Structure 1
Amino acid sequence: MQGEAATGRRLVAVAGKDALEFLQGLVSNDLRPLAKGPGIVWTALLSPQGKYLADFFVVAQPEGLLLDLPEVLAEATLRRLAMYRLRADVQIAESPLSVSRGLGLAPADALPDPRDPALGWRRYGAPGGPAVIDWDAIRVAHCIPESGIELIPDDSYILEAGFERLHGVDFRKGCYVGQEVTARMKHKTELRKGLVLVRVDGVVPIGAEILADGKPAGQVFTQSGGQGIAFLRFDRASGEMLAGDVRVSVA
């Protein structure tokens, strides 16, 4: 089974004796298990203020590390990595590989998507086939955010976006850029906003404002099958809400 091509992605090889240590000091998740052999970790790169800049997969292969990046954020992410590299023995170069993904029985060399079993598997090598799976429907059903839609650079916070539930952050790994703010949100505050699954009685534009009793309560993003992923203020998310003239309620 070859799977289907994962569109909108860029693959970058990261080599050099300092490659794993370099990335480990920058991202939200623990990459050390990748030193033991083939594997995949989903993680985020944050600003010093703790805001989301990008999310990506770090893949360990026999040939070295591979970054599986959203194309829309790839250039900015690679510039930031180059800025942090300094004198580390790290080389970053485009990879000739392709990424495919699928559901059900996985090829022997595929890796499970670490975010949620519902997202199936990812494979790095030859190109996949045409896209046929409704991934947005899967994301909505499991409230899984997507880069450039629910995940907004320099605005989103990863805990509000569900990264803990989706195995994208490790609170025991030690320091990384933005770690202090993330740890404080985890241990010293109660989240007052976040992504939740909602029922949508119709279809509204992505990013449509949600009102509760006439007050701003959040926004609705990806929608499928009468449901949607919404970013809500929890103190205003009780009862019926409106996005334009469309009724919205917490699922």
Structure 2
Amino acid sequence: MNIKNVYILDDRAILYLNGVDAKEFLQNLISNDINKVSETNTCFTSLLSPQGKFLYEFIIIKHKSGYLIDCEKSQADGLFRQLSIYKLRSKVEILNLSNEFVVAAFSHEKFLTFDGGQDISGFTLKYREDPIFLDPRNKQLGARLIINLEKLYLSLKKLDLHDSNLSEYYSYSHKLGIVPKDLNKLQNKIFGIECNYEELNGIDFKKGCYVGQENTARIKLKNKLSKRLLPISMVNGELTEGENIYYNDNEIGKVLIDKEYPFALIKYLDENFNVKSDFNTKEASIKIEKPDWIKN
């Protein structure tokens, strides 16, 4: 990323949770540990089904007496409803502030120019009372600013940041191996741990119970993680969501996201899987990338 570029993430939504039970409420639901979230640290997490399947992923930021939730806009209404279902008698208020707040992303290098900025994923500081943090999934994705829409452009001018084409950010995220959009296409089709959440700092295996914890822990402890969500790069042809991927006649995975930034669930430990190989679907020839931050 260019140090002067900023990307207005108009595909993101902001929810806000507060109330005396907010911390305990989130701790009982999410795959990460809410105790990691503070004025100086932000975390990435997920909300899974009771079976451990992916439902929602989001970033949690401490804000005033509660927590901001940065999620994909297409998932916001569903996440709001899901949190409301779990609320029951908890003293928690859930608000959708997407019409008031906006998310902007800029480079890792720019973040390090801020006074007090530290080169740690999730590290958080304040700029004129607004949170800025290095992406907690992977600091190579740069930093994010969550700010009131009315203050956005004046702040970007003061920071000498220039609005850039959002597709550049999407392409960079895809190349890095982190899903930039279309997360709803993964719902109930893939285990959360298969989304690489351990490597993306989205699961805490030492915390107590949460929704989907039993299967997630079993896959981890019994070393049964044999599939991963990996990015696809096109050689030629056209992808279709749900179609199988083959190496010669051996099935190696399935396309889950088929648009501009495609991803597939891949049998990455299969003897027929080699990132140097060409793979095919019914209508396409593709490459499958394994990010260097996935070590095994």
* TM-score interval for Structure 1 and Structure 2 normalised by the shorter chain: 0.7 to 0.9
Provide the rounded CA distance (Å) in 2 between the counterparts of 1:114 and 1:189.
25
Provide the rounded CA distance (Å) in 2 between the counterparts of 1:6 and 1:210.
31
Q: Which residue of 1 aligns with 2:36?
A: 33
* Letter in structure 2 aligned against 1:212: Y
Between 1:68-77 and 1:45-54, the stretch displaced more is 68-77
Q: Of 243, 246, 249, which residue of structure 2 is paired with 1:211? A: 246
1:247 has 2:281 as partner: no
| Aligned partners of 1:160 and 1:194 also within 8 Å | yes
1:101 has 2:135 as partner: no
Secondary structure in 2 aligned to 1:123?
A: strand
Cα displacement (A) at 1:204 = 2.8
* Letter in structure 2 aligned against 1:209: N
Q: Of 162, 165, 172, which residue of structure 2 is paired with 1:132? A: 165
Q: Of 119, 128, 134, which residue of structure 1 is paired with 2:141? A: 119
Cα displacement (A) at 1:45 = 0.3
Matches within 5 A, 1:168-207: 168-198=202-232, 200-202=234-236, 204-205=238-239, 207=241
Cα distance change of structure 1 residues 63 and 3 upon mapping to structure 2, 3 Å threshold:
farther
| Aligned partners of 2:59 and 2:70 also within 8 Å | yes
Q: Which residue of 1 aligns with 2:273?
A: 237
Cα distance change of structure 1 residues 166 and 97 upon mapping to structure 2, 3 Å threshold:
same
Provide the rounded CA distance (Å) in 2 between the counterparts of 1:13 and 1:228.
30
1:15 has 2:50 as partner: no
Cα displacement (A) at 1:14 = 0.6
Structure 2, unpaired ranges of 5+: 115-125, 154-162, 290-296
Cα distance change of structure 1 residues 179 and 164 upon mapping to structure 2, 3 Å threshold:
same
Provide the rounded CA distance (Å) in 2 between the counterparts of 1:3 and 1:99.
10
Structure 1, unpaired ranges of 5+: none
* Letter in structure 2 aligned against 1:62: K
Runs ≥4 in structure 1, deviation > 6 angstroms? none
Deviations 1:52-101 (A, max 9, x none): 11001111023521111211111121111111111111111122322211
* Letter in structure 2 aligned against 1:155: K
Cα distance change of structure 1 residues 2 and 136 upon mapping to structure 2, 3 Å threshold:
closer
% identical aligned pairs: 27
Aligned-pair Cα RMSD in Å:
2.7
| Aligned partners of 1:55 and 1:147 also within 8 Å | no
Provide the rounded CA distance (Å) in 1 between the counterparts of 2:286 and 2:105.
32
Deviations 1:19-50 (A, max 9, x none): 1111011000111022x424321100011111
Deviations 1:180-209 (A, max 9, x none): 010001111322211235554235336353
Secondary structure in 2 aligned to 1:160?
A: helix
Provide the rounded CA distance (Å) in 2 between the counterparts of 1:11 and 1:168.
19
- Report the number of matched residues: 248
Deviations 1:208-229 (A, max 9, x none): 53223334322344688xx964
| Aligned partners of 1:145 and 1:161 also within 8 Å | no
Deviations 1:91-150 (A, max 9, x none): 111223222111131365311111111211111113356552412222222211245358
